[in-house]
Structure 1
Amino acid sequence: MKVGFVSLGCCKNLVDSEQIMGVLRENGHEIVGDPRQADAIVINTCGFIQPAKEESINTIFEMSQYASKLIVTGCLAQRYEETLRSEIPEIDAVIPIRDYGELAEKLQEVLKDAGNGSFSKSERALSGNPWSAYVKISDGCSNRCTYCAIPLIRGNQTSKLLSEVREEIEALAEHGVQEVTLIAQDTTKYGLDNYGRLMLADLIREVDRIEGIRWIRILYMYPDEITEEVLQAMKESSKVLPYFDIPMQHASNRLLKLMNRRGTKEDVLALVSRIREMFPEATLRTTAIVGFPTETEEEFQELLDFVKEVRWDRFGAFTYSREEDTPAWSMSPEVDEQTAQRRLDQLMQVQEQISLESNQKKIGQVVEVLVEEREALTGRYRGRSRADAPDEADGQVIFTSPREIEPGTFVNVRIDEARPYDVAGVLAE
C-alpha cells in the first residue's frame, strides 16, 4: 500500500514520525510524498499551543480529500482522542502516543497488513537530509512549567539507556549520518529518572567516541542543570559543538517563579559568563515568552534589557498561548493580544539588530560549513556552520563556488557579507 505521511510540530515529533515510517516500511508499505498517490495518509499531529492545534485540524481536513484511509497520531491524538473520533468522521483511526507500543497492531487494523515491527526497535526512515539526524534521548517531561501542556500529553520524563542512545547513533553513522542533534524536552535532566543522577556528561563522553560522526549538537539545556561537569565534558569533546540552547523564557524573576521555572536571571547571567569564559566561540540560543499573565510593561522592559545585555546569538520568541488544564490557564490579569504582539515585535526588532551586528563580526572569517543544497536559479550553495542548528530558528551560510560541491560535504567558506540572520561568502580552497 502507498502511504502518505505528514509530520507536524517539533523535531521531537519528527523523530516519532521517522520511527512510524520505519514500521510502515517494515510491513511492506511504500512512503510517498504526493498525497494524491496515497492509499492511506498518516498525520502526526502537534498539540502544544493553539496555533499548532489549528494547523493540525486544518491538515486533517486537507488530507481527508486525498486518501481512502486517514490515520491521526501524535500529541493532538493523545490529548483529544475522543473529540477527534466523535467530531471528525473523516478519520479512520486515532492512535495516541500511549498506544505506540502496539503501533504495528494498531496500523494493521486499518491498513490490513501483517502488523510486524516495533515502534522503538524498527529502523527509522530518515525524512530529511541523509547526512543529518535528530536523536531523542528521552521523552516526556518531569518539569511542571505552568504554561506547558507537554507533561499532560507525554507524561513524565523517560530517558533511554546510554547504550540505546549509543547504538542508535552508531546505526545512523553506518548509514552515512555525519551530524547528530541530541534532543529532549530537557536534555540536561537526561538519566535522572532511570540512573538516579544527571547523566548528560556521561552521554557526551560516550557519544564522542562514535566513529563516523563529525558534529554533535545538544538542544534544550535547562540553565540550572548545565553543570561544571557537563561544561568540562563538552570542552574535552572533539565532536560535541560549543552550542548552548538555553530556553530562558523570561528575565523577570517574579514571572520565572510564576512560570515555575527554576533559577533566576542572575543565575543565567553567571552561567553565560562562565560559558563564554570556557568557550570563546560559543553559540548561545534561547527562547522567550511575552504576554504571560500579569506581565507588566516594566517586566517586559527588563526582558528587553536582558536580551541587550546577553546578546544571544540565536533567539526565538512567541506570545503566550493559553492552554486548558495548565496552571496558567486561570491566571489573571491576562495581557491582551494587541499588547503581547506589540511586545513581541519590539523584542524581535532588538534581536534582529543584535544578530546583524554579531554576523558583521564574522566578515573575513573562514568557517566550516556543511553543504546542504544548491540554488537552482543562482547556482549558489546553502549550508550551515557549527553555529547553525538544523531547524528554522537558525540561519544559513550562502556562498559561491568555482567548482561543483556534493551536498553533505564539509567545506571552508570565507564570509564577506552579513545579513540579519544569514551570512554569505565564497568557497575558501
Structure 2
Amino acid sequence: MKFFLISLGCPKNLTNSEEFSARLLAHGHQLVFTPQEADTVIINTCGFISSAVKEGTAEIRHALELKRQGVIKRVAVTGCMVDRYREQMAKDFPEADTVFSIAAQDHVEDLIGQDGLFLESLANALYIPEYKMTLTATHTAYLKIADGCNYRCAYCTIPFIRGAYRSKPMEQIVQEARLLTQNGVKEISLIAQDTTSYGIDLYKKPSLTDLLKKLLKIRGLGRLRIMYAYPNLVTQELADLMAGEEQIFHYLDIPLQHIADPVLKNMNRQCDGKKIKDTLDMLKKTVPDISLRTNFIVGFPQETQKDFNELKKFVREYEFDNMGVFEYFREKGTPAYEMKQIPAAVKHQRARELEETQSRVIDKINKRLVGAEMEVIADGADFGRTYKDAPDIDGKVTFTKPVPPGCIFYGRVVAAQGYEREIEPLKIIKK
C-alpha cells in the first residue's frame, strides 16, 4: 500500500503520526508525498476545539472527494476526532473505509486494509514505541514523555480524549533520546499535555528535573527544549537546572490562559494570579535571558472588562517573547459550556486588543534585541530560529550569510521588525 499522510493539530499528535507511519513502513507499506501517488489517504485529526474539528472535517471531505473521483482507493481516519466523537464518526463519514481510535494506532498494520470502525481503550501505561520515525527536519525532533491529563480545566476536552496522565518510563525516554541524537538530531523538544507533571504516576512525584539530569548525560546531546509547562509545577529546582546547563535552551512554554483570579477560578486552573507572577519573577531572576512563550484565552464565560484590563496590563508588564491569543471556544461536554457566554463580538474585540498589546511589547523587545548575541539553530542555509523560537510555533530568522543547515551557532541580531529578525552568524557551536 502507498499512503499519503495528513497530520493535523499539535506536536503531540504529530508524534502519534510518526509512530504509526513507522509501523506501516516496517510492514512493507510506502509513504508518498502527494495524494495522486497514493492508494490510501490517512488523516490523523485534532479534536481539541471547534476550529480543529472543522479543519479535520474539511480534510476528510476532500479525501472522500478524491476517492469518488478515483484518484485514491481508500480513506482512513484516526486521531482525536475519533476518540472524541467515536460512533458518530462512522455515521458522519460513511464513505470512510477505516476509522480507528488513538489506541488502535498501535496495530495500524493489521487494520489499515479493513473496513469499519475500530475503537479501543487507551492503555494504562505509556512506553517507547516499537517503531519510530521523524516527520520533522532531520536536525530537530519531538519526544513525547507523557500523554493524557489529570487536570479538569473547565474549557478543555483533552482529558476525555487522551485519558488520565501517563508517563513514559525514564529509562525508555533516555533510550529514545539517545537514538535521536545518534541519528543526527540536535534539538529535542520534550512534549506532553503537561511536561512538569512528568513522573507523578510512575514515581509518585513530579520528576522532570530528574529526567533532564539523565538526558544531559547522553553523549553528543545537542539542545533540549521544554514545552507545555504547568505554572504551579515550575519549581526553583527546574529553574536552577536550566540556568546551569547550556544544553537546555533558556526557553519555557508555559500556557497561563489568564491572570485575573475570577477567570482562573472559573476555568478551574490550579493556580491564582499571585502564584503565576511569583513563578515568572523567579524564572526571570534565576535565568535572566529566559524566553517565555504563553497562551491566553479571552472571552471566557463571565470574564468582565476589569478582568480583561488586568490581563492586558499583565501582558504589558511581563513582556512575553511569544504569545498565542485564542477566543474562547464553547465545547460540548465541558463545564464551561453551561456557563453564561460572552457575545462573539466582545470576544473578537478583546482578542484584537490583546494582540495589539502584544505587538507593542514586541516592538520594545526588538529595540533591546538589536546587537544582542544568542544561540541560533539553522533550519536551512539562510534561515532558522533563535533559542527563543520553538519549531513550527514561534518566529523565524534569516541569516546575513549561509551556514551549514542543522548547525547550532552564535549569532548577532542586526535587524528586528515584528517577529522577523536578521542574524549575523558569528561562531558555529555544533555542526
Does residue 38 of the first structure (1) align with residue 38 of the second (2)? yes
C-alpha distance in structure 1 between counterparts of 2:41 and 2:127, whole Å: 18
Is the 2:24–2:108 Cα contact (8 Å) retained in structure 1? no
CA distance in structure 2 between the aligned counterparts of 1:145 and 1:267, rounded to whole angstroms:
17
Alignment match, 2:374: 367
* Correspondence for 1:94: 99
CA distance in 1 between counterparts of 2:163 and 2:105 reads 14
Which residue is equivalent to 2:415? 417
TM-score normalised by L of structure 2: 0.92
Distance in 1 of aligned mates of 2:386 and 2:226:
15
The equivalent of 1:155 in structure 2 is: 163
The one-letter amino acid paired with 2:357 is V
Contact preservation (8 Å) 1:135, 1:183: yes
Of the three residues 187, 191, 205, the one matched with 1:197 is: 205
**Aligned residue in 2 for 1:382:** 383
How far has the Cα of 1:353 moved from its partner? Answer: 1.3
Structure-2 separation of matches of 1:425 and 1:385: 9
User: How big is the shift at 1:372?
Assistant: 1.0
Partner AA of 1:386 in structure 2: Y
Please list every run of 5 or more consecutive structure 2 residues that lacks an aligned counterpart in the other structure. Answer: 117-125
Deviates more, 1:229-238 or 1:1-10: 229-238
**Contact 2:12 2:191 (C-alpha < 8 Å) held by counterparts:** yes
Aligned residues: 413
Q: Could you say if the C-alpha distance between residues 207 and 119 of structure 1 is closer, same or farther in structure 2, counting changes exceeding 3 Å?
A: closer
Deviation at 1:276, TM superposition (A): 1.0
Quick check: 1:281 aligned with 2:289?
Answer: yes
For 2:240 and 2:361, the matched residues in 1 are separated by 29
| 1:427 counterpart residue number | 425
1:114-153 equivalences in 2 (<5 Å): 121-153=129-161
Query: How far does residue 119 in structure 1 lie from its aligned partner after superposition?
Result: 9.5
Q: Given the alignment, which residue of 78, 81, 85 partners 2:86?
A: 81
Partner residue, 2:59: 59
Separation in 2, partners of 1:108, 1:229: 50
User: What code does the residue aligned with 2:390 have?
Assistant: A
User: Which residue of 220, 229, 244 corresponds with 2:252?
Assistant: 244
- For 1:410 and 1:220, the matched residues in 2 are separated by 23
Aligned to 1:317: 325
Deviations 1:214-242 (A, max 9, x none): 11010111111112222223233231122
- Contact 1:23–1:119 (8 Å) recurs in 2: no
Amino acid in structure 1 at the alignment position of 2:72: A
Distance in structure 2 (CA, Å) of the matches to 1:405 and 1:238: 21
Instruction: Report deviation, 1:425.
Output: 3.1
Retained in 1: the 8 A contact 2:196–2:208? yes
- The superposition leaves residues 23-79 of structure 1 with CA deviations (integer Å, 9 ceiling, x where unpaired) of 110011110110111001110000000010000000011122142111101000111
Identity %: 36
Q: Which residue identity does 1:4 align to in structure 2?
A: F
Report deviation, 1:120.
5.0
Query: Any idea what SS the aligned residue of 1:182 has?
Result: strand
AA of the residue aligned to 1:385: T
Distance 1:230 1:371 in 2: 27
Residues 98 and 113, structure 2, Cα contact 8 Å, conserved in 1: no
TM superposition shift of 1:189 = 0.5
Name the residue aligned to 2:403.
405
Displacement of 1:314 in angstroms is 1.3
* Structure 1, unaligned runs of 5 or more: 112-117, 375-380
1:49 aligns with 2:56: no
Alignment check: 8 A CA contact 1:241 1:386 kept? yes
Rounded Cα–Cα distance in structure 2 between residues aligned with 1:347 and 1:150: 25
Residues 284-332 of structure 1: CA deviation (Å, up to 9, x unaligned)? 1111000101111111111101111111111111000011111111001
User: Match of 1:114?
Assistant: none
SS in structure 2 at match of 1:361: helix
SS at match of 1:133: strand
Q: Equivalent residue of 1:153, what SS?
A: helix
In structure 1, the partner of 2:192 is 184
Residue in 1 that maps onto 2:119: none
Instruction: Give the superposition deviation at 1:427.
Output: 2.8
Say yes or no: does 1:71 pair with 2:69: no
Q: 1:119 to 1:5 in 2, by over 3 A?
A: farther
Instruction: Look up the match of 2:121.
Output: none
Q: Give the drift of 1:99.
A: 2.2
Matched, 1:109 2:117: no
Change (3 A) 1:119 1:91: farther
TM-score normalised by length of structure 1: 0.93
CA distance in 1, matches of 2:95, 2:403: 46
Shift in Å, 1:210: 1.3
Query: What whole-Å deviation, never above 9, does each CA across 1:390-428 have from its counterpart, x for those lacking one?
Result: 122x11221221xx4331122332211111112113333
Per-residue Cα deviation, 1:83-135 (whole angstroms, up to 9, x for no partner): 12122122101111132343332225369xxxxxx995333221110000001
Deviates more, 1:251-260 or 1:417-426: 417-426
Aligned twin of 1:115: none
The letter of the residue matching 2:335 is: P
In 2 relative to 1, CA 21–101 (structure 1 residues): closer, same or farther, beyond 3 Å? closer
The more displaced of 351-360 and 67-76 is: 351-360
Task: Please report the RMSD computed on the Cα atoms of aligned residues, expressed in angstroms.
Answer: 1.7
Partners of 2:305 and 2:334 lie apart in 1 by 24
